[in-house]
Amino acid sequence: VSHAAAGASGVAPSAMMDGQVQAIRSALSTAGFQQTLLMSYSTKFASSMYGPFREAEQSAPQKGDRRGYQASYGDARQALRESALDEAEGADILMVKPSLFYLDIVVRLRESTELPLAVYNVSGEYSMLIAAADRGWGDLRGMVRESTLALYRAGADLIISYWSNRYREFFL
């Protein structure tokens, strides 16, 4: 509610906790912010692909880990159930994070919802392509274009990506 009151047109809670979307949607509506978009990190996998960002920001948990509120990367059915629950609780946009290793989930989710579908192309996915290109194992522009198109082809409407600030270089 504080974000909406400050002028944000949307909020995106990242914890993937049961009931979170319903509680936020209810609080926004009660406060008069019915038009504020709610993008749910509805299927956020416990992935090794977050490593580069966490290391750079020194944001790894000091004890324990985040797997308690992230989906197992081996359980596609649970991942899809989590997204369906968030849709039922009032999410306006669903998200899959990370994206490239989960194209099967993106496809299945696209088939099961009419909501806009976002994917988050995380730091590990970005770093893989940079490292390959730096070693001469592929053309960076071509790999970025191909991997990004794969996300759209799988059904993503929105892509959140570390490539965004280089859009002109890769896509124009």
Q: How far is CA 49 from CA 20, 36, 87, in A?
A: 24, 30, 25
Q: List, by residue number, the catalytic residues.
A: 44, 97
CB 46 within 8 A of CB 72: yes
**Angle in degrees, CA 141, 142, 145, rounded to 5:** 85
